[in-house]
Chains A and B, each alone.
Chain A
Amino acid sequence: MTAHGEMIMEYPSADTVKLVLSGAWKLGGELPGDDKVQQTLQDKPGVRKVVFDTRELATWDTGLLTFLMNLSKFCSRQHININSDGLPGGAKKLLELASAVPEKKDARQAEERVEFFTYLGDETIYLVQSAGALLAFIGDAVIAFQRLLRGKAQFRRADLGSIMQAVGAQALPIVSLICFLVGLILAFIGAIQLQLFGAQIYVADLVGIAMVRLMAAIMTGIVMAGRTGGAFAAQLGTMQVNQEIDALKTLGISPMEFLVLPRMLALGLMMPLLCLYANLMGILGGMVVGVGMLDIGLIEYYNETAKAVGLWNLGIGLFSGCVFGIIVALSGCMRGMQCGRSAAAVGDAATSAVVTAIVGIIISTALITIICNFLGI
C-alpha cells in the first residue's frame, strides 16, 4: 500500500477527463495538488466533464475533501460538469452538505487595503464624530441631572449607596498610601533645596500648599481614574454586551438616569471627601520628613502649615476634586455605553475610559490653574 495519494488522468472520450485516484488521501500526507488538474482543464478547452474512478482508493479524509472542493469551485467557474458518482459514498454526501448552503458573498466584510490618506481622512472624521458624541453625552448627563433636581430621575437609591461605598470608603487604603508617599517625596525634594539656605521650616509651606491646592486632587483623581473609571466602563460595557441596556431602554428607563447619574453623583460627592483625607495624608507624609529628618518640632511644623495653607487653597483643591470625580465618572460611563458587543470591546472601553479620564483631569487642571491665576486667587 502506498503511503501517499496518487492521481492519474485518463481521457475516455474527447470531452471527458477521468481522475483515477489511488492510495491514501490523507491530510498531511503527500497529495497531488489540484493545480495540475486545473492546468490540464485549461489546456484542453474541449473538456466539459470530469468523472472519478476511486476503486483503488485505500483511505481518505479531509485531504480528499479539500481537493474535491477546490476542484468543484474551479469547475463551476469554468462551467465544467462534475460527475461525483465515482466517488466514495461518504465523500459524495459530505461534499453535498458542504455545498448545500451557498456561500454568502457580501456578508464577509471586505478586507480592503486602505490608502494612507484615506486612512488619515477616516480617522479625522472619526475624531470629529467622537468629539460630537462626547458633547452629546455631556448634554444628556446635564439633562439627567436637571431631572434629578426636579426629583424626577429614576434610579435605585440602593445602587447609589453601594456605588458610594465602592468609590469612597473602599478607595481609602490606596489613596492613603499614594498621598502619604507623595507628601513624603515632595518634602524630600524640597528639603534638599531649602537646606542650602537654612530654610528647612518652609518645607511645611511647600508640602502643605502643594498638597492641598493641587497634588491631593490630582493624585486621587488619577487613582480613581484607574480604579473606578475602568471599572465603570467594564461594568456598563458588559451590560451592553448582554443587552441589559437594551432591556432598560425598551422599558422606557433612561440608562442615563438609571446607570450614569448615580455613578456621577457618587464620585462627585465622594471625591471632595477623599481629597480632604488625601490632604491630611500628604501633610502627614511631609511631617514625617520634616520632624524626623530636618529636626523641626511637631508643633512648629503644624503651625507653619496652618499659617501657609489658606482657605482658598482648600476650596480650590476640593472643587478640583469634585470636577475630577465627575470627569472620571463621565468618561467611564461614556466609554461603557459606547461599548461594542464583544469581550474585546469591553477591554477597549476600559482602556479608553482610563485614558480619557486622565487626559480630562490634566486638561481641567490646566484650565483651573489658569483661571485661578487670572482671578488672582
Chain B
Amino acid sequence: MTAKEAHITVRDLTMAYGDYVLMRDLNFTINRGDIFIVMGGSGCGKSTLMTILIGLKAPAKGKVLYGEVDFWGADAQTRDRVIRRAGVMYQSGALWSSMTLAENVSLPLETYTDLSPGQTREVVELKLALVGLAGFEEFYPSEISGGMQKRAGIARAMALDPEILFFDEPSAGLDPVSARRLDDLILELNESLGTTMVVVTHELASIFAIGSNSVFLDVSQRTMTATGNPNQLLAETKDPTLRMFLTRGEKS
C-alpha cells in the first residue's frame, strides 16, 4: 500500500452549543482519496461536526487542519479559499428555492468558471443525469420530492468537481435502489476523480459498501470511540456500543 497523505486532520476537537458540550477530544485523520464515514446515533453531533469541518461553526476547542493549513486559526479569506475546493450536500438539500435545478447547479459554475452558457448547460445536464435527474432541469425545488431534492443537492455539490465532497445523510429518505445508485456514484467519483468523500450516514449497507475509513461518535461517552475501516471495526471491535450499532443490535 502506498503511504497516504492526510487531507483533513482533526485534533483534540471539542464541539459545543454554548455550555452544552456535544463531543470532546475528537482526534482522527481523513486521508486523500478516503471515503470517510462519520457514524453515530441520531443527535450525537454528526451534522454539527460537519458544520465545523466546512467552516460554518467554530469549534469550542481544538484544531482542524486542511493539509497543513490550520482552518479555524486562519483568517476568513483563507477559510473561504480552502472551502471553495469542497462541495457540500446538506441534510435537507438546501437548494435555493427561487431557482430551478439547472440554475442551482449552474450558479457555482457561473461564479467560478469561465464556461460559455452552452458549456455550462452541458455540465448541468451531465451532473443532473449522474444523480438520476435528467430532464428535471427546469423544475423548481418545490416541484420535486424530498429524495429528488437531496439528489439535486448532490449534483450541485459536485458541480465544480471539488477535491472534497461532504454529504450529510445522503441516502436517508431515498428508496433502496436510488440509495444503491448513490453509493455507486460515490464510489465511482472517488475512484475516477480521486475525490475525498466525507459521508455522514447511519445506513449500514452504505457504510460497509463504500466506507474505507470511519469515525464512530458515541453519545454515552461524549467522544469518539473508534476510527478505521468499518469492515475491520466490525470484525475486531470489543466495544458493545459500536458492535450494537454495526449489527443493528441483532445478536449474532
Which of A's residues lie within 8 Å of B, judged by CB? Answer: 102, 104, 106-107, 154, 156, 238-239, 242-244, 246-253
- Ordered by A's residue number, 25 sampled pairs between the chains whose C-beta atoms are within 8 Å are A106-B20, A156-B107, A238-B97, A239-B97, A242-B93, A242-B95, A243-B90, A244-B95, A244-B96, A244-B97, A246-B94, A247-B88, A247-B94, A249-B55, A250-B54, A250-B55, A250-B56, A250-B83, A250-B86, A250-B88, A251-B108, A251-B111, A252-B111, A252-B112, A253-B111
Residue of chain A at shortest CB distance from B56: A246
> In whole angstroms, how far apart are the Cα atoms of A104 and B45 in the complex?
14
B122 at the interface (CB under 8 A from A): no
**Docked complex Cα distance between A154 and B107 (Å):** 10
Closest Cβ of chain B: how far from A69's Cβ, in Å? 21
| Distance, CA A93 to CA B68, complexed state (A) | 52
Q: Is B247 an interface residue (CB 8 A)?
A: no
**Least Cβ–Cβ distance between A215 and chain B, in angstroms:** 35
**Residue of B with least CB distance to A107:** B20
**Is B94 a contact of A244 with CB atoms below 8 Å?**
yes
CA distance A242 to B91 in the complex (A): 10
CB A108 to nearest CB in B, in angstroms, measures 10
Q: Which residues 94-135 of B have a CB within 8 angstroms of A?
A: 94-97, 107-108, 111-112
Is residue B80 contacting chain A, with contact meaning CB distance below 8 A?
Answer: yes
CA distance A84 to B107 in the complex (A): 61
B232 an interface residue at 8 Å Cβ cutoff? no
How close is A161's CB to chain B, nearest CB, in angstroms? 13
Give chain B residues whose Cβ lies under 8 Å from the Cβ of A104: 219
B56, B84, B91, B96: the one contacting A252 at CB < 8 Å is B84
How far is B41's CA from A104's CA once the two chains are assembled, in angstroms?
13
Name which residue of chain B comes closest to A242, CB basis. B94
CB-CB under 8 A from A253, the residues of chain B are 107, 111
B141: nearest residue on chain A (CB-CB)?
A242
9 closest cross-chain pairs (CB), A and B:
A243-B94, A247-B94, A252-B84, A243-B90, A250-B88, A252-B80, A244-B96, A250-B54, A244-B94
CB neighbours (8 Å) of A243 from chain B are 90-92, 94
